Protein backbone atom coordinates (compact mmCIF):
# COMPACT_ATOMS: atom_id res chain seq x y z
CA UNK A 1 0.00 0.00 0.00
CA UNK A 2 2.70 2.36 1.02
CA UNK A 3 4.52 1.66 -2.19
CA UNK A 4 1.59 2.36 -4.46
CA UNK A 5 0.89 5.64 -2.67
CA UNK A 6 4.47 6.57 -3.15
CA UNK A 7 4.37 5.76 -6.81
CA UNK A 8 1.18 7.78 -7.28
CA UNK A 9 2.89 10.78 -5.89
CA UNK A 10 5.91 10.04 -8.03
CA UNK A 11 3.72 9.74 -11.07
CA UNK A 12 2.00 13.01 -10.31
CA UNK A 13 5.31 14.71 -9.81
CA UNK A 14 6.54 13.36 -13.11
CA UNK A 15 3.33 14.45 -14.83
CA UNK A 16 3.65 17.91 -13.35
CA UNK A 17 7.28 18.20 -14.38
CA UNK A 18 6.40 17.16 -17.91
CA UNK A 19 3.40 19.47 -18.17
CA UNK A 20 4.62 22.43 -16.20
CA UNK A 21 5.22 24.56 -19.26
CA UNK A 22 1.87 23.60 -20.69
CA UNK A 23 0.09 24.39 -17.45
CA UNK A 24 1.73 27.79 -17.32
CA UNK A 25 0.97 28.46 -20.95
CA UNK A 26 -2.65 27.56 -20.36
CA UNK A 27 -2.83 30.01 -17.49
CA UNK A 28 -1.33 32.76 -19.63
CA UNK A 29 -3.80 31.99 -22.41
CA UNK A 30 -6.70 32.13 -19.99
CA UNK A 31 -5.51 35.49 -18.75
CA UNK A 32 -5.20 36.79 -22.29
CA UNK A 33 -8.65 35.49 -23.17
CA UNK A 34 -10.10 37.07 -20.04
CA UNK A 35 -8.68 40.42 -21.09
CA UNK A 36 -9.89 40.02 -24.66
CA UNK A 37 -13.38 38.97 -23.61
CA UNK A 38 -13.77 41.55 -20.86
CA UNK A 39 -12.02 44.61 -22.21
CA UNK A 40 -14.19 47.04 -20.28
CA UNK A 41 -13.92 45.08 -17.08
CA UNK A 42 -10.18 44.80 -17.45
CA UNK A 43 -9.81 48.47 -18.30
CA UNK A 44 -12.02 49.35 -15.35
CA UNK A 45 -9.84 47.28 -13.04
CA UNK A 46 -6.64 48.90 -14.20
CA UNK A 47 -8.28 52.35 -14.02
CA UNK A 48 -9.27 51.63 -10.44
CA UNK A 49 -5.78 50.44 -9.58
CA UNK A 50 -4.33 53.59 -11.10
CA UNK A 51 -6.74 55.83 -9.23
CA UNK A 52 -5.91 54.07 -5.99
CA UNK A 53 -2.18 54.53 -6.44
CA UNK A 54 -2.70 58.20 -7.39
CA UNK A 55 -4.66 58.73 -4.19
CA UNK A 56 -1.85 57.15 -2.23
CA UNK A 57 0.59 59.52 -3.89
CA UNK A 58 -1.55 62.52 -2.93
CA UNK A 59 -1.53 61.25 0.64
CA UNK A 60 2.24 61.11 0.60
CA UNK A 61 3.23 64.17 -1.43
CA UNK A 62 0.23 66.39 -0.73
CA UNK A 63 -3.01 66.89 -2.62
CA UNK A 64 -2.50 70.43 -3.86
CA UNK A 65 -0.23 71.90 -6.52
CA UNK A 66 3.06 72.84 -4.95
CA UNK A 67 3.34 75.98 -7.09
CA UNK A 68 -0.12 77.50 -7.02
CA UNK A 69 -2.16 75.49 -4.51
CA UNK A 70 -4.67 74.23 -7.08
CA UNK A 71 -6.54 71.33 -5.48
CA UNK A 72 -8.69 69.58 -8.08
CA UNK A 73 -7.14 66.12 -8.17
CA UNK A 74 -8.35 65.55 -11.72
CA UNK A 75 -5.74 68.03 -12.94
CA UNK A 76 -2.95 67.18 -10.52
CA UNK A 77 0.02 65.09 -11.60
CA UNK A 78 3.18 63.65 -10.18
CA UNK A 79 6.01 65.87 -11.37
CA UNK A 80 9.63 64.84 -11.69
CA UNK A 81 11.51 67.69 -10.08
CA UNK A 82 14.70 66.87 -12.02
CA UNK A 83 12.76 66.60 -15.31
CA UNK A 84 13.79 62.98 -15.77
CA UNK A 85 10.21 61.77 -16.19
CA UNK A 86 10.61 60.55 -19.74
CA UNK A 87 13.67 58.48 -18.94
CA UNK A 88 12.08 56.96 -15.88
CA UNK A 89 8.78 56.24 -17.60
CA UNK A 90 10.63 54.47 -20.39
CA UNK A 91 12.45 52.36 -17.82
CA UNK A 92 9.65 51.56 -15.36
CA UNK A 93 6.42 52.36 -17.17
CA UNK A 94 3.86 54.77 -15.78
CA UNK A 95 2.63 52.32 -13.15
CA UNK A 96 6.20 51.54 -12.18
CA UNK A 97 7.00 55.21 -11.64
CA UNK A 98 3.92 55.62 -9.45
CA UNK A 99 4.86 52.54 -7.46
CA UNK A 100 8.41 53.72 -6.96
CA UNK A 101 7.21 57.13 -5.81
CA UNK A 102 4.72 55.50 -3.45
CA UNK A 103 7.03 52.90 -1.96
CA UNK A 104 9.89 55.34 -1.36
CA UNK A 105 9.21 58.83 -0.07
CA UNK A 106 11.42 60.91 -2.37
CA UNK A 107 10.47 64.57 -1.92
CA UNK A 108 13.64 65.65 -3.73
CA UNK A 109 12.58 63.76 -6.83
CA UNK A 110 8.80 64.01 -6.92
CA UNK A 111 6.27 66.72 -6.25
CA UNK A 112 2.61 67.32 -7.02
CA UNK A 113 1.93 69.93 -9.69
CA UNK A 114 -1.22 70.89 -11.55
CA UNK A 115 -1.27 70.54 -15.33
CA UNK A 116 -0.86 74.29 -15.79
CA UNK A 117 2.21 74.58 -13.62
CA UNK A 118 3.70 71.48 -15.12
CA UNK A 119 3.22 72.90 -18.60
CA UNK A 120 4.74 76.22 -17.58
CA UNK A 121 7.67 74.43 -15.99
CA UNK A 122 8.23 72.48 -19.18
CA UNK A 123 8.27 75.64 -21.30
CA UNK A 124 10.59 77.38 -18.83
CA UNK A 125 12.96 74.42 -18.81
CA UNK A 126 13.03 74.32 -22.59
CA UNK A 127 13.79 78.04 -22.70
CA UNK A 128 16.57 77.58 -20.16
CA UNK A 129 18.09 74.68 -22.09
CA UNK A 130 17.98 76.67 -25.31
CA UNK A 131 19.70 79.52 -23.55
CA UNK A 132 22.35 77.19 -22.13
CA UNK A 133 23.05 75.60 -25.48
CA UNK A 134 22.91 78.89 -27.30
CA UNK A 135 20.60 77.84 -30.12
CA UNK A 136 17.83 80.43 -30.13
ZN1 LIG B 1 -0.33 74.79 -10.15
Q: What is the pTM of this model?
A: 0.68
Ligand 1 centroid distance, CA of 109 (Å):
17
pLDDT band at residue 8 under the 50/70/90 scheme: confident
Q: What is the pLDDT of residues 88-130, one digit of tens each?
A: 999 999 999 999 999 999 999 999 999 999 999 999 988 988 8
- In the predicted model, is pLDDT for residue 133 greater than 80? no
Distance 12 CA to ligand 1 centre (A): 62
pLDDT band at 132 (very low <50, low <70, confident <90, very high): confident
Cα distances (Å, whole numbers) of residue 52 to 3, 28, 56, 57: 54, 26, 6, 9
Q: What is the pLDDT of residue 128?
A: 86
| Residue 68 CA to ligand 1 centre (angstroms) | 4
Distance 23 CA to ligand 1 centre (A): 51
In this predicted structure, what is the pLDDT of residue 12?
86
CA of 58 to the centre of ligand 1 (A): 14
What's residue 135's pLDDT?
54
Within a 10 A sphere around the Cβ of 53, how many other Cβ atoms?
16
Angstrom distances, CA of residue 82 to CA of 23, 72, 113, 133: 45, 24, 13, 18
Q: What pLDDT does residue 110 have?
A: 98
Closest C-alpha among 108, 92, 110, 109 to residue 54:
110
Distance 24 CA to ligand 1 centre (A): 48
CA atoms 107, 79, 68, 114: torsion sign: negative
Q: What is the pLDDT of residues 42-80, one digit of tens each?
A: 889 888 998 999 999 999 999 999 999 999 999 999 999
What pLDDT was estimated at residue 130?
A: 84
Task: Report how far ligand 1's centroid is from the alpha carbon of 116 (Å).
Answer: 6
Q: Does residue 3 carry a pLDDT above 80?
A: no
Amino acid sequence: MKNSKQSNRERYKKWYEANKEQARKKKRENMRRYRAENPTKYAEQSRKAKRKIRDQLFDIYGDTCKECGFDDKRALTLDHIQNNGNVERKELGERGVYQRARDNYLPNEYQILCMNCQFIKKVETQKQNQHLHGNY
